[in-house]
């Protein structure tokens, strides 16, 4: 006589079977813990440069509304997008229009009154300042809003340890103002094996870019670029190097990704310096620079209310967090404080990048 099958009495599946039923509360809790873990990992591990705690958070003002136009630097695109989003969260009645095709477009738009904000990855030239002053009778006012280490990128598979500035000049320049020779292959830079005969492929910014101008002035000593440089916007410069094992290019540190490597630079092979936050702050990295927003601000007067509040936001703890999110370096508290003080005091002299030893 066959016995009847027994049924589990405790509600659990029989031995050797699995219960794949999903509990919504458990799923939500697990997802929440995973998100929290990712945020903690980003904040304490991947987030490389925290905002100075001495920089105060932004304090909301009354009656801030209207239209704000920004024309200028491509390098600062992500910074301006993130700051604009944060600012509009506080002031939903503000409309912000962003046009970022290069620092060369910033001064003309500001001079012609087509923009209130002129983000630039370099200082204005004497000609640009002169054109502004000829129209308004005073100089434009600049605000330092972030730090950058203008990086020289190679493909992640390239093993080059570092480059001297003379080598950088030999790679990118046809006039060789630093006194070296033209460098055309990776073997000329000491790489061996399959790399020795690989021709160096050049990527760089277009000539309306402030990064192009800064690199030309500081790396090439105002020498001329080789005609073989593939010129484009920041994103495509880095993308080109990422897709080209023989490639080398230059752009702001905010465009670095996992497919490229930012090469340490130095005056000699004995003093290569990596493009880190610390080395940008203390000026030991040779291509450290400030990033700016220029505005039309009469001497001894604050800028117009809407422009002024946006600048205050960018210089606040909240705005500097946006700078970090865009992968650039935040300002030291004293620099941010000095910039804010300049908003209600007389126009200060044109700022300079960090001093180098």
Who's near 166: CB < 8 A, 6+ residues apart? 178, 179, 180
For the chain, where do the domains classified as CATH 3.40.190.10 start and end? 66-147+290-341, 151-274
pTM score, two decimals? 0.81
Q: Which CATH class is domain 151-274?
A: alpha beta
Structure tokens that stand for 173 in this block: 């320049």
**Local confidence pLDDT in tens for the 357 residues of the chain:** 444 444 444 444 444 444 545 566 666 766 667 777 655 544 444 455 689 999 999 999 999 999 999 999 999 999 999 999 999 999 999 999 999 999 999 999 999 999 999 999 999 999 999 999 999 999 999 999 999 999 999 999 999 999 999 999 999 999 999 999 999 999 999 999 999 999 999 999 999 999 999 999 999 999 999 999 999 999 999 999 999 999 999 999 999 999 999 999 999 999 999 999 999 999 999 999 999 999 999 998 889 999 999 999 999 999 999 999 999 999 999 999 998 887 754 333 333 334 433
CATH annotation of 66-147+290-341: 3.40.190.10
187 to 155, 263, 294: CA distances (angstroms): 16, 17, 44
């Amino acid at each position: 006589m066959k016995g009847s099958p027994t049924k589990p009495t405790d509600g659990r599946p029989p031995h050797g079977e699995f219960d794949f039923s999903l509990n919504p509360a458990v799923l939500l809790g697990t997802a929440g813990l995973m998100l929290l873990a990712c945020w903690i990992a980003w904040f304490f591990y991947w987030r490389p440069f925290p905002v100075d705690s001495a920089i105060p958070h932004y304090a909301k003002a009354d009656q801030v509304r209207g239209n704000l136009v920004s024309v200028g630097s491509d390098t600062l695109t992500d910074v301006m997008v993130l700051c604009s989003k944060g600012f509009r969260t506080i002031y939903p009645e503000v409309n912000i229009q962003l046009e970022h095709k290069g620092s060369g477009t910033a001064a003309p738009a500001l001079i012609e009154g087509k923009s209130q904000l002129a983000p630039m990855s370099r200082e204005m030239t004497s000609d640009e300042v002169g054109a502004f002053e000829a129209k308004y009778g005073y100089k434009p006012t600049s605000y330092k809003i972030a730090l950058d280490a203008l990086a020289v990128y190679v493909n992640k598979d390239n093993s080059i340890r570092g480059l001297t500035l003379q080598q950088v000049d030999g790679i990118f320049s046809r006039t060789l103002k630093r006194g070296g020779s033209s460098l055309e292959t990776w073997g000329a830079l000491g790489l061996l094996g399959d790399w020795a005969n690989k021709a160096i492929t050049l990527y760089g910014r277009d000539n309306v870019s402030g990064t192009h101008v800064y690199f030309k002035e500081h790396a090439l000593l105002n020498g001329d670029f080789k005609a073989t440089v593939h010129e484009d916007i920041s994103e495509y410069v880095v993308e080109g190097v990422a897709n080209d094992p023989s490639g080398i290019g230059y752009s702001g540190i905010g465009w670095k990704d996992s497919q490229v490597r930012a090469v340490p630079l130095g005056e000699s092979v004995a003093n290569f310096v990596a493009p880190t936050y610390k080395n940008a702050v203390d000026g030991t990295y040779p291509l450290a620079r400030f990033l700016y927003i220029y505005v039309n601000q009469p001497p001894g007067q604050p800028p117009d209310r809407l422009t002024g509040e946006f600048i205050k936001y960018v210089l606040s703890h909240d705005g500097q967090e946006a700078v970090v999110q865009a992968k650039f370096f935040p300002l030291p508290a004293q620099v941010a404080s000095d910039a804010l003080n300049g908003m209600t005091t007389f126009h200060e002299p044109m700022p300079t990048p960090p001093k180098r030893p």
